[in-house]
């Protein structure tokens, strides 16, 4: 592992973390050999790999690093150095501050003007044309607003070349099919990507920038003018051709698209609207140095046109995503440690830097848009023992209804929030206002089906957010309290037992995050809200899997031979994931570094069936449930002194503690 203050190769001093992702971390460092110049250090851990995998990754790393270091383009940041260090590999890149276009649009809270989008698109065509003219051509495969950085000087740069590939004439299918739903073209899910695949993603990106609407699934990109009527017909037509479903119906090359954009730029009259007057341009939100203007049309909603409200986003209707079909002989999805998985992870490190990995403090390893990096979004409050746990409790040890209780840790009686449920009511508390999201059964066709509700701590204002089809449960608030992730079997058309879904705090904008056969459940957020960890069973055993929301890439974080792993939870500082293993009376609790590594069993919990670890908000304790003497009780492990104490009073069956 790499830590702040470490000196690598006798020259690179680690200053602070910049981001963290599935199997790597990015740090700001200074280079003493070049007068203290700032650089970005990207660390890729290999401790979680088998020896043969680590050796293969080293070979791939070295070969690809040489190739990528030779890429020289003003919209890419060069690779400066690479070496092996501390159970992993390190890539050194120039450090350039900036913000992703997705971050800028989030702050603008609406679409960008047409002139600005054309200006950016021309720059993107320049760099795509450069990549496509390499021998063999390089296909980016993940162009989207969160992978495009804008520097303080106003230049846009591609970042996160995590899934770039070389185009091979005559090859019928990519070895690994990755990408972001809504931006990836159809051929990326079952054929071979080629340079025109990037043009589809360019068109989808322009659509989002011009409308302010998210593309979350499916392949048919709507007309821009249906959402933003002020966009010119010529640009609308170009975007429609860029996002054609068949590659041969798209423009021939990035160079051809650039020529069309330059024609539109040089002849604004052909765009059939009046250019914005000098006073109507909207400045970008300041981050460090003041950026240049964001050009707009008079009717384009901007920060300088506050009377025009952004178009409301329609509720997303979930569309099942294409399931990855591996080529003959490839390892199945559950064996993410196989060679296809390995190659993808190596590319995440290598190409993530070569293409100008422009790492600013606000961006995660995979180009996410979070404003917080690997620290709790809600800062820890007082000592956790001054707060409460929320538990599901059965007054009758032999059966009966469940109560959702608040259990004060400083002493005093437990308080009922939701009494008398016929099933469990696992709850999660929103830090901003302590509103709970929880699950209980709703009668449907003569059966009780678990659904998701929210409620205030005093038991008022209960609202049902889901109503089927199927079971919806294991709900968790996002760190900023605006979204809820959960598991569901609402897809009744496939053999998927459960999948992970995401919705807004009011139940709107439903989005499906996984589409693998088997069971995906028990999701938990990273503290910065950019990643989700969950348990997944696609073959024999459950494993702990990490999903990066920006790239939609999945990585196996922990798996134990011959044992199931369940119910992960992320530490508040973002460094560690706790989870449970086993079933019945044979269970244990483990932790694993969030960047990958060897799981470690917690062996000082005491005799009992120990399950369900949950971190305290200050990171000082782990709450867990344990069955001892025939009764379930809640316990706390102090991480400072490894002391365990019981917090249940022994009169009930207390389970599923949440802070």
- Name the DSSP class of 312: P
Query: So what's the pLDDT on residue 361?
Result: 23
Give the lowest-confidence range in 232-236, 317-321, 504-508: 317-321
CA 41 to chain CA centroid, nearest Å: 21
First to last CA, the chain: 29
- Spatial separation of the C-alpha atoms in residues 219 and 185, rounded to whole Å: 7
pLDDT, position 492: 61
Q: Is the peptide bond before 487 cis (omega within 30 degrees of 0)?
A: no
**CA angle at residue 360 from 182 to 6, to 5 degrees?**
125
In the numeric block, which tokens belong to residue 640?
């400072």
| Cα 419 from Cα 19, distance rounded (Å) | 43
Average pLDDT of the chain, as a whole number: 76
Q: Is the pLDDT of residue 425 over 60?
A: yes
Plot region of 461 (φ>0 → left; ψ -120 to 50 → alpha; else → beta):
left
Contact 97, 151 (CB under 8 A): yes
- Over the stretch 153-162, which tens digit does the pLDDT of each residue have? 889 988 765 4
* Per-residue pLDDT tens digits for 243-290: 998 899 999 999 999 999 999 988 765 554 333 323 323 323 322 222
Q: Which residues contact 71 (CB under 8 A, 6 or more apart)?
A: 78, 79, 131, 134, 354, 355
Least confident of 363-377, 381-395, 402-416: 363-377
- Cβ partners under 8 Å of residue 221, min gap 6: 203, 204, 207, 215, 239, 240, 243
- Which of the pair, 33 or 164, is modelled with greater confidence? 33
Q: Is the pTM of this model over 0.75?
A: no
**Quick one: average pLDDT of 118-141?**
92
Return the closest-CA partner of residue 568 out of 535, 538, 599.
535
Question: What average pLDDT does this structure show over 437-451?
Answer: 83
pLDDT tens, position by position, 591-615: 999 988 889 999 889 888 999 999 9
- Return the structure tokens found at 528: 């910065």
Q: Which pLDDT score, from 0 to 100, does residue 93 have?
A: 86
Q: Name the pLDDT band for 551 (thresholds 50, 70, 90).
A: confident
| Neighbouring C-alpha atoms within 13 Å toward the C-beta of 487 | 21
Question: What is residue 611's predicted lDDT score, i.e. its pLDDT?
Answer: 94
What's the rounded mean pLDDT across residues 500-506?
92
Band of the pLDDT at 124, cuts 50, 70, 90? very high
Burial 11-20 (b: 16+ CB within 10 A, else e): ebbbbebbbb
* pLDDT band at 328; cut points 50, 70, 90: very low
| pLDDT score of 431 | 86
How big is the CA angle at 289 (ends 285 and 292), to the nearest 5 degrees?
60
pLDDT value for 331: 35
φ, ψ at 14 (rounded to 5°): -75, 125
Cα distance between residue 32 and residue 538, in whole Å: 48
As a whole number of angstroms, the distance between CA 318 and CA 314 comes to 12
Tens of pLDDT, residue by residue over 181-190, are 778 888 776 6
Between 193 and 373, whose confidence is greater? 193
State whether residue 305 is helix, strand or coil: coil
Separation CA 186–CA 192 (nearest Å): 10
Confidence of residue 421 (pLDDT cuts 50, 70, 90): low
Please return the burial class of 165, using the count of CB atoms within 10 Å of its CB with bins 0-12, 13-18 and 19+: buried
Classify burial at 564, counting beta carbons within 10 Å of its beta carbon; exposed 0-12, middle 13-18, buried 19 or more: middle
Class for domain 99-305, per CATH? mainly alpha
Least confident of 170-179, 205-214, 430-439, 473-482: 170-179
Which segments within 436-517 are labelled E, that is strand? 436-444, 447-455, 463-464, 472-477, 483-488, 496-504, 511-512
pLDDT band at residue 179 under the 50/70/90 scheme: low
Counting residues of the chain whose pLDDT is more than 70, the rounded percentage is 73
Query: With bands split at pLDDT 50, 70 and 90, how would you rate the model's confidence at 343?
Result: very low
Q: Is the pLDDT assigned to residue 212 strictly greater than 50? A: yes
Is residue 137 predicted with pLDDT exceeding 60? yes
Between CA 562 and CA 548 the distance in angstroms is 26
Q: For residue 139, what are the CA distances in angstroms to 91, 201, 342, 523?
A: 21, 11, 19, 32
pLDDT at 491 over 60: yes
Q: How many CB atoms lie within 10 A of CB 534?
A: 29
The residue to which tokens 């709900």 are assigned: 475
Rounded CA separation 516/10 (Å): 45
CA distances (Å), origin 531, targets 21, 318, 375, 555: 8, 20, 13, 11
pLDDT of residue 441: 82
Q: Over 80: is that where the pLDDT of 222 sits?
A: yes
DSSP label at 65? H
Task: Please list, in sequence order, all residues whose beta carbon lies within 8 angstroms of the beta carbon of residue 276, skipping any fewer than 6 positions away.
Answer: 113, 115, 295, 296, 297, 298, 300
Q: How confident is the model at residue 486 (pLDDT cuts 50, 70, 90)?
A: very high
Q: Mean per-residue pLDDT for 540-548?
A: 89
Residue pLDDT, tens place only, 38-79: 998 888 777 666 777 677 667 766 766 776 778 889 998 788
pLDDT reading at 305 higher than 50: no
Q: What gap in Å lies between CA 207 and CA 524, rounded to an integer?
A: 31
* Domain extent listing, the chain: 99-305, 423-515
pLDDT (mean) for 468-493: 88
**pLDDT tops 50 at residue 376:** no
């Amino acid at each position: 592992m790499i830590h702040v203050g470490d000196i690598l190769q006798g020259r690179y001093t680690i200053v602070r973390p910049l981001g963290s992702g599935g199997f790597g971390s990015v740090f700001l460092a200074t280079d003493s050999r070049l007068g203290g110049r700032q650089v970005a250090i990207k660390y890729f851990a290999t401790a979680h790999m088998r020896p043969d995998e680590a050796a293969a990754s080293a070979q791939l790393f070295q070969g690809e690093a040489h190739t990528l270091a030779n890429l020289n383009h003003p919209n890419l940041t060069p690779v400066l150095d690479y070496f092996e260090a501390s159970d992993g590999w390190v890539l050194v890149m120039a450090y350039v501050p900036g913000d992703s276009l997705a971050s800028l649009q989030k702050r603008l809270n609406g679409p960008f003007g047409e002139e600005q989008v054309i200006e950016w698109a021309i720059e993107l065509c320049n760099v795509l044309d450069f990549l496509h003219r390499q021998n063999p051509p390089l296909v980016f495969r993940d162009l989207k607003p969160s992978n495009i950085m804008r520097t303080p000087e106003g230049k846009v740069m591609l970042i996160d070349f995590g899934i770039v590939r070389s185009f091979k004439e005559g090859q019928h299918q990519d070895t690994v099919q990755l990408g972001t739903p809504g931006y990836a073209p159809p051929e990326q899910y079952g054929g071979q990507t080629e340079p025109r695949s990037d043009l589809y993603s360019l068109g989808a990106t322009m659509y989002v920038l011009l409308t302010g609407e998210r593309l979350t699934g499916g392949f048919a990109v709507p007309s821009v003018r249906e959402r933003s009527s002020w966009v010119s017909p010529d640009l609308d037509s170009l975007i429609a051709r860029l996002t054609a479903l068949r590659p041969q119906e798209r423009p021939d090359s990035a160079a051809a698209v650039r020529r069309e954009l330059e024609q539109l730029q040089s002849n604004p009259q052909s765009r059939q609207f009046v250019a914005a007057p000098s006073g109507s341009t909207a400045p970008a939100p300041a981050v460090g140095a003041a950026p240049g203007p964001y050009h707009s049309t008079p009717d384009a909603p901007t920060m300088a046109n506050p009377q025009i409200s952004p178009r409301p986003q329609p509720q997303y209707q979930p569309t099942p995503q294409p399931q990855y079909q591996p080529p003959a002989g490839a390892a199945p999805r559950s064996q993410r440690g196989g060679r296809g998985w390995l190659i993808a992870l190596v590319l995440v490190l290598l190409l993530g830097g070569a293409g100008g990995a422009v790492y600013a403090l606000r961006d995660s390893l995979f180009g996410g848009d979070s404003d917080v990096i690997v620290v709790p979004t809600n800062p820890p409050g007082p000592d956790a023992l001054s707060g409460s746990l929320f538990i599901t409790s059965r007054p009758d040890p032999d059966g009966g209804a469940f109560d959702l209780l608040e259990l004060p840790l400083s002493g005093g009686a437990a308080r009922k929030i939701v009494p008398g449920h016929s099933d469990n009511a696992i709850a999660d508390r929103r830090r901003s206002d302590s509103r709970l999201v929880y699950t209980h059964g709703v009668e449907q066709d003569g059966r009780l089906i678990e659904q998701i509700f929210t409620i205030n701590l005093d038991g008022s204002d209960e609202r049902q957010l889901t109503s089927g089809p199927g079971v919806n449960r294991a709900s968790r608030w996002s760190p900023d309290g605006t979204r809820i992730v959960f598991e569901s079997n609402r897809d009744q058309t496939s053999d998927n037992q459960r999948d992970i879904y995401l919705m807004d705090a009011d139940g709107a904008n439903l989005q499906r995050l996984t589409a693998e056969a088997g069971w995906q459940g028990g999701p938990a957020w990273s503290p910065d809200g950019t990643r989700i960890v969950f348990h997944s069973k696609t073959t024999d055993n459950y494993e702990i899997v990490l999903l990066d929301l920006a790239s939609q890439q999945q990585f196996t974080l922990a798996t134990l031979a011959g044992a199931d792993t369940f119910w992960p939870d992320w530490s508040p500082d973002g460094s560690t994931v706790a989870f449970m293993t086993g079933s019945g009376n044979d269970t244990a609790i483990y932790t694993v570094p969030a960047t990958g590594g060897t799981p470690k069993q917690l062996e000082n919990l005491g005799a009992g069936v120990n399950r369900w670890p949950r971190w305290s908000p200050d990171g000082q304790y782990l709450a867990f449930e344990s069955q001892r003497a025939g009764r379930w009780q809640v316990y706390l492990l102090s991480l400072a002194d490894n002391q365990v104490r019981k917090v249940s009073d022994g009169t009930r069956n207390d389970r599923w503690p949440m802070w």
